[in-house]
Structure 1
């Protein structure tokens, strides 16, 4: 007979006898057993749990969590095997277990994980507490220990039940009251006081009749007595949402039992927790409600974990649906099992037309082949695939498209790869920006490598970030990279480096540049050099100064040329002064005899001379005047060159100066048959302040030229007012003639 067939041995008979005495087969659910099944599922995080008893031909479920079994043939039940062996049966993968892989729960219901723990009554193994699930799973030592403890609690409960039923059958009411009740109370009290769940009895109005210590601790009281005495209205004092109490009463009225009723409650200290209740209505033989009894479990940690998980999933889905990246998930066969909204927009299809499809349904075959190869590599190696793919433009003028793609393996609860997640997005713009940045960087490097000026960039602490080749050469370095991270104190005397640092910090703090500041420096050979330095703040996109850009131009040759120019200018000025002094002396020396000659000529002209002699003497007098004019002009030019010509400011008659200048040329004009005219407005009569001699000299020169180059006609001298204020007047002098003019 096989191990999993019903036994026809004394042990089997004893088991069935005990089950009959327990009167438990085919009875209604009981909260005590329901709670044990729920706790077992909670401990292992398995989706299914049950407490079942092994009858003659079937395995009958007293309590179920997560599934509905009722009764199944005994020869198809893994629990029957555990009961018959009297030992736990723990199977991580039922398909690979010799004893149960052929059973209906495995072959038909898809059970993969199973763990059964037998319990007993009257020293007979009568049933099993089990947990199960559709995926492979293992249990650690602590989980196994807790499940064994739950099976022990079931055994204690059944033992108590068995003893009471035995006493009833023997009709020993006195013994039941004295001995049986004492034993029952002792065993029940042991469970009642030490079980890790709250147990209670309440009236229909919610007033506590009894409570165990664990319930008091869950609700925040020091003892059951304190809980019972202080909490009188559970709907107001216990439930955060009073409507939950109304819902509780409604369900109990309709069904007399409630499973896993989850609510948020207020503890005695005001803090909030989550609980799960399993309650049944206890009625007398006439159907009248006596009280409610049930269990309470603190599921705050579980609720918070589940809420955190829900929030995390909600956040994940919110992010997935709002980010601009395309996200899809595929199973091992390459079938789409998820796609976000961005992907739907990219392929131009609604989600319902994507799920269940493959890349071959959405993309050209050559691309689908590539995608499938990449997916298989990720699933085979478990390594992340991260690359930038280039999609070449096919039409004329079409540019390449760059796609960033990241593929990661998807894992099931056992850590096995069961698909891939793919995220991709268009990085063409970023690629173009990177190319542009690289181009600009190359331009900058070309500039820094070839420009003769010394160019550098420093951070806010005046440390070099980048420098030109000319700067590296100036500082005696091999390459520009050797300057990075250093400062001016590494290359210059402290006083000079301090000056540089202070200038740069002032530029950074104030935002005001330094333009073409001339600095005297010392080169690597110790020679004095000069530089024209410009420093401007370097700001980021937010306008915050992050450093300084400097340009230093060697102007040593220019400074030396300026020195030579200044020296030449000084020499020329000195020569001009010497020339002026010489001419002044010569003019004085010549003027003295000339004055004597002119005086003698004037005496001669006043004497009795013949007409011919008079003409000759007049000619000599005119020539002498002309020579004096030449001497005056030479002397003035020498003074101008030497920078020593000064204008006088003295009162004079404007009319007198003009008329004298005209009269001096009257004889020559008359000799040439030229008419001289002079026009002075009456408004200009009076005294003026200025240099009358220089004005007379200018007019003499102009009138002389006019008379000289006019063969016939007239020469007119005129003056008019151009502008006038209280203190000053601007005049315009005009000498016009009918001659050839001045070219």
Structure 2
């Protein structure tokens, strides 16, 4: 009696344990009839299908084929495999949950037979693999996008190498840059693209070693096309590791930078030429005897040493920021305001390009001097400005004044001499007139004497 009671208790414990496992297992467990009705199911399966309890689910799903499966043919395929093989593993299907949403499940099931091997029912496990399928779909879409992206790239050579450096994939950009078709290059070693010099220096193996150890290598180097022509390339080699940190191969991205290299060389040459020209200009600018000032709307921004000397300055900061009219007397004449007139010349230079005019400047010590100004428009960092070349014409003005004074004195002397000559002429004219009168009288006397002589009977007696 005691043994019987213990056996019943042991049996009850085993039943409770089985029930606990059945209800709390993380996968759905079920039994169905051969025709497609649930006999039993655990709570996990009910939760997977969106029901509150297994009892509710069993009552609701009277026909598994038409009510549960999105594609009812999948249930037929499922049953066919079970009838043929007696079991099915990882059978994936889409099913409807209670709320109508669709999820993915995988089933592992088998046939339960009686002693005569007659089919009694199906028994199996269900696992919700929706998240896994979504991940797989997302991965497939990502891989497809990546494939399309790689195949659409024409400016970059994108290809994969195995762990030993042999080409295993090849995109259209690689065909364009290296000029190999995929069937010509797949299976060949990376060294195909290296020059003889690099091969002698064991560069292919060295670069893969660096990429393997550091994870990535980016360099600029000379590569070879199929026709053996060299070109400059920017090459990025990346080591590819799996989840177990096992090297699976390398990816390589190559960009042809020959044109940019040539452009840089040209630019470098131009910069060197420009720098040389700038130095020549700067040397000329600083050594010229003519004062040169560069001006923008804020005033003087630079000047040469001749300008410092002309305006009586010792440092460029003394002129920097000053407007031209601030280096001038307030007025150029009694009615001409210096600031208004100079701004007028600035406008003329902007429209014509250059203007020449005379100007009076004032040194820092207050002394004034005349100047000839050549004002031309130019650009400073994209902004309008002017270059003023100022020539001190003090000597010229002094010479002009001296010449003017000499001319005035000459005119006075000429005028005086003219008066004196006029007086001499008048005296001569008077003397000539008097002489003419005397000569006229003499001629008259001679005529009288001659007439008397001819008319006398005894010319000898005439005394």
TM range (shorter): 0.5 to 0.7
Instruction: Give, in whole Å, the separation in 1 of the partners of 2:102 and 2:266.
Output: 59
Match of 1:474 among 299, 306, 314: 299
Question: Where do 1:467-616 residues align within 5 Å?
Answer: 470-471=295-296, 474=299, 476=301, 525=326, 528=339, 529-530=342-343, 531-532=346-347, 550-553=383-386
SS of equivalent residue, structure 1 residue 199: strand
Query: 1:372 is matched with which residue?
Result: 205
Instruction: Give, in whole Å, the separation in 2 of the partners of 1:392 and 1:346.
Output: 10
Question: Where do 1:648-667 residues align within 5 Å?
Answer: none
Q: Would the aligned equivalents of 1:200 and 1:209 in 2 still touch at CA under 8 Å? A: yes
Instruction: Give, in whole Å, the separation in 1 of the partners of 2:277 and 2:101.
Output: 70
Deviations 1:418-451 (A, max 9, x none): 5432221212234445566778889999999979
Question: Where do 1:648-687 residues align within 5 Å?
Answer: none
Match of 1:225 among 44, 55, 58: 55
Higher RCO structure, 1 or 2 (CA under 8 Å, sep 6+) = 2
Query: 2:23 is matched with which residue?
Result: 193
Residue 240, structure 1, aligned to residue 70, structure 2: yes
Q: 1:296 to 1:477 in 2, by over 3 A?
A: farther
Instruction: Give, in whole Å, the separation in 2 of the partners of 1:359 and 1:418.
Output: 16
Q: CA deviation at 1:209?
A: 1.5
Instruction: Give, in whole Å, the separation in 2 of the partners of 1:175 and 1:524.
Output: 125
Query: 1:62 is matched with which residue?
Result: none
SS of equivalent residue, structure 2 residue 245: coil
SS of equivalent residue, structure 1 residue 240: coil
Q: Would the aligned equivalents of 2:36 and 2:64 in 1 still touch at CA under 8 Å? A: yes
Question: Where do 1:133-282 residues align within 5 Å?
Answer: 182-282=12-112
Give the structure-2-normalised TM-score.
0.55
Instruction: Give, in whole Å, the separation in 2 of the partners of 1:362 and 1:309.
Output: 33
Match of 1:333 among 164, 168, 183: 164
Q: Would the aligned equivalents of 1:328 and 1:339 in 2 still touch at CA under 8 Å? A: yes
Query: 1:388 is matched with which residue?
Result: 220
Q: 1:210 to 1:403 in 2, by over 3 A?
A: same
Q: Would the aligned equivalents of 2:195 and 2:223 in 1 still touch at CA under 8 Å? A: no
Q: Would the aligned equivalents of 2:242 and 2:248 in 1 still touch at CA under 8 Å? A: yes
Instruction: Give, in whole Å, the separation in 1 of the partners of 2:98 and 2:261.
Output: 62
Q: CA deviation at 1:236?
A: 3.0
Q: CA deviation at 1:404?
A: 1.4
Q: CA deviation at 1:269?
A: 2.0
Instruction: Give, in whole Å, the separation in 1 of the partners of 2:57 and 2:38.
Output: 8
Q: Would the aligned equivalents of 2:295 and 2:385 in 1 still touch at CA under 8 Å? A: no
Query: 1:321 is matched with which residue?
Result: 151
Q: 1:234 to 1:436 in 2, by over 3 A?
A: farther
Query: 2:437 is matched with which residue?
Result: none
Query: 2:126 is matched with which residue?
Result: 296
Give the structure-1-normalised TM-score.
0.36
Instruction: Give, in whole Å, the separation in 1 of the partners of 2:383 and 2:210.
Output: 53
Q: 1:222 to 1:438 in 2, by over 3 A?
A: farther
Q: CA deviation at 1:296?
A: 0.7
Residue 343, structure 1, aligned to residue 174, structure 2: yes
SS of equivalent residue, structure 1 residue 407: strand
Q: CA deviation at 1:523?
A: 5.7
**Which consecutive unaligned segments of at least 5 residues does structure 1 have?**
1-171, 452-467, 479-520, 536-547, 558-743
Residue 403, structure 1, aligned to residue 233, structure 2: yes
Q: CA deviation at 1:226?
A: 1.5
Q: Would the aligned equivalents of 2:191 and 2:204 in 1 still touch at CA under 8 Å? A: no
Q: CA deviation at 1:319?
A: 2.3
Q: CA deviation at 1:208?
A: 1.5
Q: Would the aligned equivalents of 2:88 and 2:109 in 1 still touch at CA under 8 Å? A: yes
Instruction: Give, in whole Å, the separation in 1 of the partners of 2:294 and 2:273.
Output: 14
Q: Would the aligned equivalents of 2:234 and 2:257 in 1 still touch at CA under 8 Å? A: yes
Instruction: Give, in whole Å, the separation in 2 of the partners of 1:383 and 1:471.
Output: 55
**Moved beyond 6 Å, runs of 4+:** 174-177, 436-451, 554-557
Q: CA deviation at 1:258?
A: 0.7
**Which consecutive unaligned segments of at least 5 residues does structure 2 have?**
283-292, 304-321, 329-338, 352-380, 391-463
Q: 1:400 to 1:337 in 2, by over 3 A?
A: closer
SS of equivalent residue, structure 2 residue 26: coil
Q: CA deviation at 1:352?
A: 4.9
Question: Where do 1:91-130 residues align within 5 Å?
Answer: none
Q: CA deviation at 1:301?
A: 1.9
